[in-house]
A = this chain, B = another copy of it.
Amino acid sequence: MKGRTVTIHEVAREAGVSISTVSRILNGTAYVADDKRQAVERAMLELGFRPNYLAKTLMTGRSMTVGVIAEDIVSPYYADVIRGVEHAMLDTPYQPIVNSGHWSRKYESRAVETLIYRKVDALLLLGSTLPDETLQEIASRVPLVVFGRHVAGLEEHCLTLDNVRGAYLATRHLIELGHRNIVHVRGPQGQQDAENRVHGYRMALADNDISHRPELEILGDFIEQPAYQALSHLLETRVPFTAVFAANDQMAAGARLALHRQGLRVPEDVSLIGFDDLPSSAFTSPPLTTVHQPTYQIGIALASHLLNVLQGRPSRLPAFDLTLVVRESTRPLR
């Protein structure tokens, strides 16, 4: 099937030089006389020479790849971060290798091991379910950058957003519109972002003298179906509310459907706000008011930082703000 692999030896012989010379031309390591250079280049072309990256890596110790592990490639949220990472690396000698952690410690640590085993030069974690100690141990083996997680001792390589504030903004927006009975569809227990958003929600209520009613805090799982069910259930109990703040856009979609099933319109009857600002959220009907995460730019920043670290350049992760994007799913009460 595949034609015999041609090595630098054959190129060298064909061009009448030594293998070192070929290697030099390949890597621009030193000046080479023009005639030899041309002979070598012609030989490479004729023989269809392709350098063996493995052999090169074995020597240099650097593979020019960085491992990227996202909780889930399918999640549109992480996908957009990945897009940023890919674009930032597009015209660099480094190549990202993407893997999923599948929201599980087992698979995530498996992915980590596999990637280190494949000698990636660095690791980028988009979200992580692993405990701090494990992450620290990993960082001792390979340069590590983490998004969406604070890890003790790795502060300068962690990029997190102020989710508390984001949730606060969202909730305050609803309050400013006159809403007081605000449902929060929260993310999974224990998940850092989810907890922070709950926190921001509660803070905004407290700051506006609205008493916190536990029954309005319902549990989703950052995807549509559970959020749909949770809100449907709440609707059955007839607890009154006029607005819903979902902890992410996917759950907002689930919530919206639950409302729709009850004949409740958004925003006429109930205001709805999400979190993340997925690319698709600008195109729901009506377009979703939500908290924007600059995921693409974050991807770019993470990749740039990683590349800097890899090349020994000084670098620090920039800070990103979460901003409220008011579209058409929220409106003043009445």
Contacts and interface: CB of A to CB of B under 8 A. Distances in A.
A224 B98 contact: no
Interface of A: 1-3, 50-55, 57-58, 63, 65, 73-74, 76, 79-80, 82-83, 86, 90, 95, 97-100, 102, 107, 114, 116-119, 140-143, 224-225, 228, 250, 253-254, 256-257, 259-260, 266, 279-280, 282-287
Contacts of A100: 83, 86
What's the dominant secondary structure at chain A's contact region?
helix
Task: Identify the 4 closest CB pairs spanning chains A and B, nearest first.
Answer: A260-B285, A224-B283, A74-B79, A98-B98
Nearest to A143: B1
Which of A142, A250, A253 counts the most chain B CB atoms within 10 A? A253
Given A50-B117, A257-B283, 6 more contacts: A54-B57, A76-B76, A253-B284, A256-B285, A280-B280, A284-B284
Contacts of A102: 86
B90 A83 contact: no
A220 to B, nearest CB: 12
B80 A119 contact: no
Nearest to A228: B283
A118 B286 contact: no
Nearest to A286: B260
Given A1-B140, A1-B143, A260-B286, A53 B117 contact: yes
A276 to B, nearest CB: 13
Given A53-B119, A55-B58, A142-B2, A283 B73 contact: no
B83 A73 contact: yes
13 contacts: A1-B140, A1-B141, A2-B140, A54-B57, A54-B118, A73-B73, A73-B79, A76-B76, A83-B100, A95-B114, A224-B283, A257-B283, A257-B285
A283 to B, nearest CB: 4
A241 B36 CA distance: 71
Nearest to A110: B90
Nearest to A81: B74
B63 A74 contact: no
